[in-house]
Chain A
Amino acid sequence: MSETLSAKQLGFYALNEKVRELTGEIIIDNSYGERFIAASATADKSIVINGTPGNALGCYMDGAHITVNGNAQDAVGDTMNDGEIVIHGHTGDALGYAMRGGVIYVREGSGYRTGIHMKQYKDKRPVIVVGGGTGSFLGEYMAGGLIIVLNKNSDGRADVGRFTGTGMHGGAIYIRSAEPPEDVPKQVLCRKAEDADKVAISEYVKRYAALFGGDINELLGADYWVLAANSANPYKQMYTDN
């Protein structure tokens, strides 16, 4: 059974109150910037949003499934713990901030600070797949998880802005590109992916192709750069006891 809500004129408070009460398939039509949809939602909800949901979509989400037919805004999947978010469009800044589990697929590009503070612990390993490019500070302070940037419209350069992986001390970033990203800080190792490296991402790239279309050989066959921290303790030598 599915419930259809119209977000029109509801405002986020009333809309989210309804979403909280429902389970099963929930369709939200006419979404126009309502924030916090599916905050901390669990696996008993599967939500389809038609329109443009507002900031913090799926924040603290814990198992639900969201499909957005449109673009999303900032802070999608903030501190998300589990579940899947599929965006048929672009997203704004701070996508997947401090995400610790689940997967986010974005058909097009994402904004600044994508995947900042992502973390992993034991079997919890968050994944972000971005079809286009990203803004600067990709994976800033990243402590775990996996970010894949497919760069599908790029001219051969890594379309990820600047300062990729600043403060990164865990996890991995894969960037599909002929050239490496600029400004990679010295505590991050950046190298060309071997075939063996691609095993780690193939499952997610295939799912991307299944969701949004695209030639899997073209997506997976191209060159990738892998970024990983070269230390889990970047600031170890900085202090003196006083």
Chain B
Amino acid sequence: MSLNYIYPDNEVVRNYDKCICCRACERQCANEVHEYLEEADKMIADDAKCVNCHRCVSICPVRALKIVPTDHEFRKNTSWKKKDIYEVYKQAESGGVLLSSMGNPSEFPVYWDKILLNASQVTNPSIDPLREPMETKVFLGAKEESVKRGEDGRLITKTSPQLKLELPVMFSAMSYGSISYNAHESLARASQEAGTFYNTGEGGLHEDFYKYGGNTIVQVASGRFGVHREYLETAAAIEIKMGQGAKPGIGGHLPGKKVGPNVSRTRMIPEGTDAISPAPHHDIYSIEDLRQLVFSLKEATAYKKPVIVKIAAVHNVAAIVSGIARSGADIVAIDGFRGGTGAAPTRIRDNVGIPIEVALAQVDSRLRDEGIRDKISVVAAGSIRSSADVIKAVALGADAVYIGTSALLALGCHLCRTCNQGKCNWGIATQRMDLVKRLNPDIGYKRLVNLMTAWKHEIEEMMGGMGINSIEALRGNRLMLRGVGLTDVELRMLGIKHAGESA
């Protein structure tokens, strides 16, 4: 027998005084952690299989369960943490590339938490959002640079196509395949009700969801899964996926085992085959080539829909976005290095890219300096956790944000970070029908709408406090921001002053 080098990270703790052996935990755990011992009339657990998703904890009728991190440790070592050691063990055992999911969990600065907002006092009155109109609506798309008149002197009112959002928050790309049918249905219905958009990701669009087309952004990635005329025509906007914050420079790869009958239908590939979207679009090697793809999509949809280009935030992001703004794209989405994923190589997720806060500030400044800020709308993504992060992103220069993880949390995700294993006990990152059923879209969509409603109120309150009654007036308004505990370089990169410095 080979030795098992790895001691489980989590321990399943059961209070036997409380446990009534109802076996609910056993039925609910897709990882088969819990087991009932008939002869002893006792529940036992195999800690090694537990992914710490809290499903059993939530379901236990007598609150007999909790999951605690193990206190079993290696000898103290600053350089070699347990995680580093175990990763070596895993690779020595399997020879495989480490695969993880959700956003980068490592200790990097979260700049959102080092930025504070301004508020009005005395000289500049704040606004009471409960009494006065507040505008959180935004329009995404290229804006006209000047007023144009026809030969007869009349105003030309035809503008580039725009997306109208009731609040500057959209649901980011999550493919059907990486998340479930019920998760997609929840996102689609919530977008419709909240007046925003969800994004199909690169997995195609299920025919049942064509009816939500007016609130759907469809994605076109290098593999072009599920891309065809009707898919493009149904959508409100089309997003070209060039990159993703969790895995810059790395493509998508849905393993054949996740390509069941339904996923096969929307991706338009046979069941059981791998769905491979390599990192490079092999027809794009320059901004000029990107322009060709942008315009091919515009031509295919008669210039009726905005085209979004999504990239990962990397070192040279400002120059890249400056190019994208000239490619004819209407919107650029920038995904920071903390952005989530259904599956990404661990090393890439944890080591590649730059923080969205810095990327966003740099992009906004660069586009302003070049006088092309209005040519393109900027959407920030990757680790937006709250309405405060939204406000800060807008003040740093975003027109709107994408949220992924926050939306999944609203649907019940407990951030166990094992989406890649396809056994999500919350019915989100899985295609197993018995698990998918656990996510009721009637409830799921309401929870998402609640989240959007609550954030909208909070956004209005924060804006009111600053004496701003329209979100457009906050965009790029960095005087509303102050840094705390940041170095000079960090402040310069973010384009903000330190707390205590006055305007």
- How far is A233 from B272 in the complex, measured between Cα atoms in Å? 8
Contact across chains for A240 and B97 when beta carbons are under 8 A apart: yes
- How far is A140 from B283 in the complex, measured between Cα atoms in Å? 12
Say yes or no: is A241 at the interface (Cβ < 8 Å to chain B): yes
Contact across chains for A75 and B274 when beta carbons are under 8 A apart: no
- How far is A81 from B253 in the complex, measured between Cα atoms in Å? 23
Within 8 A of B (CB), among A84-129: 93-94, 97-98, 100, 113, 116-117, 119-121, 124
Contact across chains for B99 and A240 when beta carbons are under 8 A apart: yes
Interface residues on B, range: 35 or more
Within 8 A of A (CB), among B253-311: 253, 255-256, 264, 268-270, 272-274, 276, 278, 282-283, 292, 295-296, 299-302
Say yes or no: is A176 at the interface (Cβ < 8 Å to chain B): no
* A79 in contact with B97 given A59-B300, A232-B256 (CB within 8 Å): no
- How far is A94 from B225 in the complex, measured between Cα atoms in Å? 17
A153–chain B nearest beta-carbon distance, Å: 26
Select A117's contact among B223, B253, B345, beta carbons within 8 Å. B223
Contact across chains for B283 and A74 when beta carbons are under 8 A apart: yes
Within 8 A of A (CB), among B386-423: 418, 420-421
Within 8 A of B (CB), among A215-238: 232-238
- How far is A119 from B277 in the complex, measured between Cα atoms in Å? 12
Closest residue of chain B to A38 (Cβ to Cβ) is B299
The residues of B that contact A131 with a CB separation of less than 8 Å are: none
Say yes or no: is A53 at the interface (Cβ < 8 Å to chain B): no
Say yes or no: is B368 at the interface (Cβ < 8 Å to chain A): no
* A232 in contact with B276 given A40-B229, A238-B96 (CB within 8 Å): no
Contact across chains for B282 and A140 when beta carbons are under 8 A apart: yes
Say yes or no: is A62 at the interface (Cβ < 8 Å to chain B): yes
Of B36-44, B53-61, B86-94, B358-366, the stretch lying at the interface with chain A is B86-94
Say yes or no: is B341 at the interface (Cβ < 8 Å to chain A): no
When each residue 43-70 of chain A gets 1 if its CB lies under 8 Å from chain B and 0 otherwise, what string results? Answer: 0000000000001100110100000000
Say yes or no: is B136 at the interface (Cβ < 8 Å to chain A): no
- How far is A57 from B296 in the complex, measured between Cα atoms in Å? 9
B150–chain A nearest beta-carbon distance, Å: 17
Within 8 A of A (CB), among B61-101: 87, 90-91, 93-100
Select B229's contact among A62, A97, A121, beta carbons within 8 Å. A62
Q: What are the 8 tightest A-B residue pairs by CB atom distance, in nearest-first order?
A: A240-B96, A98-B224, A39-B299, A40-B300, A242-B98, A36-B299, A232-B273, A62-B229
Q: Which B residues are within 8 Å of any A CB, using their own CB?
A: 87, 90-91, 93-100, 222-225, 227-229, 232-233, 253, 255-256, 264, 268-270, 272-274, 276, 278, 282-283, 292, 295-296, 299-302, 345-346, 418, 420-421
